[in-house]
């Protein structure tokens, strides 16, 4: 029984010696890869130490975070640094906060970066890199605020200029609209004047045409009346003499007397006209 216990203890000792040798070998390989710039290979060695070999060395985890950051895996590196914010070693804790400050500085999260650098300096006041970075980020933050203020002023100025331009465009559009309305009003007035002049000319033409047509109408009426008179005389001439005399209430004997008197008057009128000279006598010429 004692021999079995002794054998188990010897086996554990041999196993422990082998693990220590493996851990030291992996640490050496990881460090060599990191120094040569092969950060991906260094990550693999450190990952085996932390995950497979269950190494609880804070420096190994810090070196793993460094290798991941240089390999470009910033997110995983930030997680590894965050696990060291409560490290037992003050120097490792200070470096972890400093690296977190560097990452947030690259992300332009200056307030968070300043907070990380403050914690780094609290953990290790002699960390001059953290102090330098803190002062640098203060200047970057001030410049950022100035740029933001300048950008805000520029945006405000641009907004004011845009408002002025919009107001100017609105005034120009209103002025153009008023000018267009005035032009349309003048055009309408001219059209109305032309229409009135055209109507006036049309009325004068109608009046003149009416005046010219009146004599034609009168001539037409006279022609119609004359035609009716001629027609009446024609009808009377076609009717028997006795009927016409009877209608006029004149006897045939009286009618002859009237007709004879009219003929005598006509003869006298003709003879008188023959006796009257047509031209005055020229006294300078002889009578013959």
CATH number at residue 127: 1.25.40.10
The reported pLDDT for the residue numbered 136 is: 96
pLDDT in tens, 231-260: 444 454 445 656 666 666 667 777 778 878
Map 137-170 to HEC letters. HHHHHHHHHHHHHHHHHHHHHHHHHHHHHHHHHH
Tell me, what's the pLDDT at 279? 54
d(C-alpha 105, C-alpha 137), whole Å: 7
Over residues 113-118, the mean pLDDT reads: 97
Average pLDDT over the chain reads 79
Of 129-138, 144-153, 190-199, the poorest mean pLDDT is in 190-199
pTM for this entry: 0.53
- Residue 117 lies in domain: 2-145
Q: Note the pLDDT of residue 134.
A: 97
Per-residue pLDDT band at 174 (split at 50, 70, 90): confident
- Report the chain's C-alpha Rg in angstroms: 69
The pLDDT score that the predictor gives to residue 2 is: 43
Residue 46 lies in a domain: yes
Confidence grade of residue 179 (pLDDT, cut at 50, 70, 90): confident
Residue 158 lies inside a defined structural domain of this protein: no
How far separated are the first and last CA of the chain, in Å rounded? Answer: 213
Q: What is the pLDDT of residue 203?
A: 73
Contacts of 45 (CB under 8 A, 6+ apart): 26, 27, 29, 30, 33
Residue 268, pLDDT > 60, answer: yes
Domain count, the chain: 1
Which of 67-81, 149-163, 209-223, 264-278 reaches the highest mean pLDDT? Answer: 67-81
Residue 164 lies in a domain: no
């Amino acid at each position: 029984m004692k021999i079995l216990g002794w054998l188990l203890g010897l086996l554990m000792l041999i196993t422990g010696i082998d693990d220590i040798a493996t851990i030291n070998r992996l640490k050496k390989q990881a460090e060599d890869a990191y120094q040569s710039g092969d950060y991906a290979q260094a990550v693999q060695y450190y990952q085996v130490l932390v995950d497979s070999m269950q190494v609880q060395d804070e420096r190994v985890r810090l070196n793993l975070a460094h290798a991941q950051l240089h390999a470009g895996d910033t997110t995983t590196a930030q997680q590894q640094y965050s696990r060291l914010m409560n490290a037992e070693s003050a120097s490792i804790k200070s470096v972890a906060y400093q690296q977190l400050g560097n990452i947030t500085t690259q992300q332009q999260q200056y307030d968070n970066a300043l907070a990380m650098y403050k914690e780094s300096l609290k953990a290790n006041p002699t960390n001059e890199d953290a102090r330098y970075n803190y002062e640098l980020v203060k200047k970057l933050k001030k410049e950022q605020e100035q740029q933001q203020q300048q950008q805000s002023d520029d945006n405000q100025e641009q907004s004011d200029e845009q408002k002025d331009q919009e107001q100017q465009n609105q005034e120009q559009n209103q002025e153009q609209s008023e000018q267009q309305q005035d032009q349309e009003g003048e055009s309408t007035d001219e059209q109305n004047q032309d229409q009135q002049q055209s109507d006036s000319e049309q009325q004068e033409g109608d009046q003149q045409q009416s005046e010219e047509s009146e004599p034609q109408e009168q001539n037409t009426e006279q022609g119609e009346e004359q035609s009716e008179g001629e027609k009446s005389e024609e009808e009377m001439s076609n009717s028997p003499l006795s009927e016409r005399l009877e209608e006029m209430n004149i006897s045939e004997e009286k009618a002859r007397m009237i007709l004879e008197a009219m003929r005598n008057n006509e003869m006298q009128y003709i003879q008188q006209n023959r006796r009257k000279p047509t031209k005055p006598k020229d006294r300078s010429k002889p009578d013959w």
